Every structure is written in structure tokens, then in C-alpha cells.
Homo-oligomer: A and B are copies of this chain.
Amino acid sequence: MRRSRAFIPTAKEAPSDATLPSHKFLVRGGFINQQGAGLYNFLPLGKIVLEKIRAVVKEELDLAGCNEVQLSFVTPIGLWERSGRSEAMGKEMLRINDRHQNEFVLSPTNEEAMVELVKNRVTSYKDLPLNLYQINTKFRDEARPRYGLLRGREFLMKDGYSFHSSTQDMIREFDLMEETYKKIFTRLGLDFRVVAADSGAIGGDGSKEFHVLADSGEDTLIVCQSCNYGANIETIDEFKDKIDELNEKSYEELKELKIDQKCSCGANLHFKKGIEVGHIFQLGTKYSAALEANFSDENGRSKPFEMATFGIGVSRLVAAIIEQNHDESGCIWTKESAPYIVNIMVSNVKDEAQMSLGEDLYAKLRAAKVDVIFDDTKERFGFKMKDAELIGFPYTLIIGKELEGGLVQIFDRKTKESISVESSSAYDKIMELIK
């Protein structure tokens, strides 16, 4: 993409209500803008990041044998009445009336619709297991939407639902999804922890959350410094009376606190702050029994499906990546999430040699299927560099005055360090760096 033809409206000022780095930098960097309370538009750069995350999620789920579907976002209230959740969902579930005064709901989640879809279409144990997922719009009418994409009302979520003939097989899938989610968050370049999220009535670990570690995280976790144990403090009896107190502390304050208890492995435990980006949950027969969704087992007996459910906050991840990866100048995208991994910046677009090299490298990198943007705008060099730092391209290849001596610079956004390379080896060096 040529920057001169792209719509990337960067700005100096952040919204007045923005307190978190991701909220400030995603708006200032031209990734998103607010349409209404808790309602966000994704501008071209934000849309590219969102689709990159979606693609990683889809690829890993498909490899794990899941089937993608897309359920209607507007769902009839009847579904929710049959499961008994019509009341339980409270005001976060927005109810609407159509022109005929029939009542519908903007889907906040889709257990009911997914069970109805499978009911009577999968009838035998022979057709199980089945794991259906979608990556689709959700709506939760938060009382106080805030923090940009982290607590919006309309958001993009991956929600998956699996159907099984036995608890044992459901747990097998639950474990497979834990591994799949780890692959997804690892590919996205995130430092994350899987933590226990309930006391584990079924199968020992019936509910696990995936948290991106970030100082600004809303949740407080304890993690072992030695083994891979972790837990959300909200699920631990010992912290029951201190949840609010601990959640209100900043990470700076928390990390000074000592935890008396030891991990079962014997090592010390520490506090961390996390942003929940995934949740896997063993449902058992809660929804299948309520909605009478049954299958025939080997002996011809009718039984409700054993189920599990698996969620990933896809649009939330856009913000979580930045909460974990930013500095005072702006965003620092990871390789797999960056809207463009290379930014070719021509310092003086009126200089023929600079532009010619820029065009040449742009064409070569595109031919090699590298996600590259070509900053061919007439702005001052200083402005362009500030902009590149705010947006957070992992590498900026600077073609400036030093080209007279045959050199170009490669700027690493994360370290903010530049290296000089011969212009003739710039392509090879970039290809090596982005590997």
C-alpha cells in the first residue's frame, strides 16, 4: 500500500476519556474511531490487524478439526426463554422489537442458537464429536462502556461449542482447545498465562482463562515463578475478601506484595495483572438438557450431548496486544499482528535516487508477499518518523541523505535502534529480520 493513497488519519490528541495506552494509541494511530458509546469503527489499519488476528484464530481452529459457521446476529427471544436465560442474562442482553412487535435479541453469546442448530441434525454417537465455531459480531449492553476496545458494547468474538457422547471425550476436546489456544496466542507473539477459573467441579479443571499479561490488566492473577500454575484471584478462597482491594491496586503496587502461600510445586507465587482474551469452559449437559438436544448412544439410548464452550475476544486482542506492547511513542506491533511489517520511508520524495530505490524495494518486497507500506508522502522526515513510531510498524527502512554514501537505515520499532546497511543489501537484511 502506498501511504499517499491510504486512509490513515493519525492524530496528536487522544480522546479525553482515554486512560489506557491501547485506547489512546489505537485512536491516535488511525486504527479505530468511536461511533458512539462502546461502538467502534475499524479504519483501514485497524481492519487489517483485526483480519490478521482472525486469520490466525481460524487457521489453528481448522487445523484442530473445528467447523466454521456464521449464526444470525439477531436471534428470536424464544431461544432464550427455552433455555431459561432470558431473565438471567439481565440488561447486558439487548432486546429489540421488530415492526411486527416480535421480540429479538442482539446476540451476546450463542449457546442456545448453536444447540438448536445441532439438535435433530446430529442424532447418533457416530456423528460425534463435533466442534462448531464462528467469528462474529456480539453485543453486550454494558452499563459503562469504557477503555476503548477492551470494554466495548459491539465486539468481534470467536465462540466455539463442542458436542460429545461422553464426558471423557468432552475433556479430550477441552484439552485440545487449550493447546490450540496456546498456539494462537503464541503465534500472535503474546506473553500470556492460562489460569484456573473455577474450583473444577467436572474433570478437575472445568474452566480456564487465557490472560495477556499487562500492567494495565483488569484482572489480578497469581502465577508460580517456577511451574506453569496460575489462577485468577477471584476463584481462590484465600483471596475472597480481598478481590476488590487487590484489583484496585496498580501492578507497581501489587508486585511489592508478598504472597504467604506457596505453589503446590513448592515455589513462590507472584501477583500479575492480566487481560482476559480467552475462556474455555466445560458445560456438561446444561444447555443440551434444557433444550432437549439428544443423541442415541451405542445402545440406542437417548442422551443429552456433553458440551464444552470456547471463546476468544478477537477485537479485544487488538487492544490487548498494544497494552502489552507499547512505549511512550505509540504502538509496537508483533510480527504476526502488524498491519504492515515493513514501512519504506523516503525522506525526500523529490530526490530521484531516493524515490527510485524506494519504488524498487517496494516492488521487490511486494513480489515476495511481504506486507509492506511505502511512505511516499511529502511530509517532513521528523513528522514521518513520529508517525511511524505512533503506528508501530516493526521495521522502517529509511532512505535518506546517507544514500549518497550508498547507505540506508533500518529502524527497529521495539528497540528504537537503527542500523546502517548498504542499499544493495537492504532487501536481504529486511528479509532476514522479518523471518
Residues of chain A from 97 to 142 with CB closer than 8 A to chain B in the complex: 98-99, 102, 104, 106, 113, 116-118, 121-122, 130, 132, 137, 139, 141
Distance between A356 CB and nearest chain B CB, rounded to angstroms? 22
- In the assembled complex, which residues on chain B have CB atoms less than 8 Å from the CB atom of A102? 37
Select one of B7, B73, B153 contacting A154, CB under 8 A.
B73
Across the interface, do A47 and B74 meet the contact criterion of CB distance under 8 Å?
A: no
A67 within 8 A of B: yes
Closest to A153 in B: B74
Q: Are A39 and B137 in contact (CB under 8 A)?
A: no
Which listed residue, B50, B72, B76, B113, touches A70 by the CB 8 Å rule? Answer: B50
Q: Bits for A137-160, please: 1 = Cβ < 8 Å to B, else 0.
A: 101010100000000011000000
CA A130 – CA B104 in complex, angstroms? 37
A79 to chain B, nearest CB (A): 8
Contacts of A35 in B (CB 8 A): 71-72, 75-76, 113, 116
| Chain B residues within 8 Å of A9, by CB | 121-122
B-chain residues with CB within 8 Å of residue A65 when the two chains form the complex: 5
Residues of B within 8 A of A99 (CB): 91, 94, 141, 143
Does chain B have a CB within 8 A of A343? Answer: no
Question: Which residues in B have their C-beta under 8 angstroms from that of A75?
Answer: 35-36, 39
User: Min CB distance, A225 to chain B, in Å?
Assistant: 41
Check: A313 CB closer than 8 A to any chain B CB: no
Contact of A117 among B39, B41, B143 (CB under 8 A): B41
Cα separation A29 to B69 with both chains bound (whole Å): 15
A41 touches B74 (CB 8 A): no
From the candidates B46, B69, B116, B153, name the one contacting A43 in the complex (CB within 8 A). Answer: B69
Contact B69 A47 (CB under 8 A): yes
A36-B104, A113-B35 in contact; A41/B98 too (CB < 8 A)? no
Given contacts A36-B74, A117-B33, contact A6 B137 (CB under 8 A): no
B139 & A74 in contact (Cβ 8 Å cutoff):
yes
Q: B44 touching A68 by the CB < 8 A rule?
A: yes
Chain B residues with Cβ below 8 Å from A130 are 7
What is the 8 Å Cβ interface bit string for chain A, positions 86-102, against chain B (1 contact, 0 not)?
00000100101011001
A381 interface residue (CB < 8 Å to B): no
- The docked-state distance in angstroms from the alpha carbon of A43 to that of B71 is 8
CB-CB contacts below 8 Å: A51-87 with B: 65, 67-76
Docked complex Cα distance between A330 and B137 (Å): 32
Given A99-B143, A137-B73: A41 and B154 interface contact (C-beta under 8 Å): no
In the bound assembly, the distance between CA atoms of A76 and B145 in angstroms comes to 15
In the bound complex, CA of A36 to CA of B71 (Å): 11
The 4 tightest CB contacts between A and B, nearest first, are A9-B121, A39-B72, A42-B70, A35-B72
A residues contacting B by CB (< 8 A) are 5-7, 9, 33, 35-37, 39-44, 46-48, 50, 65, 67-76, 91, 94, 96, 98-99, 102, 104, 106, 113, 116-118, 121-122, 130, 132, 137, 139, 141, 143, 153-154
Show 24 residue pairs from A and B whose CB-CB distance is below 8 angstroms, ordered by the A residue.
A5-B65, A7-B67, A7-B122, A9-B122, A35-B72, A35-B76, A36-B72, A36-B76, A36-B104, A37-B102, A39-B72, A39-B75, A40-B72, A41-B69, A42-B70, A47-B70, A50-B70, A72-B154, A74-B106, A91-B99, A94-B98, A98-B141, A99-B141, A137-B137
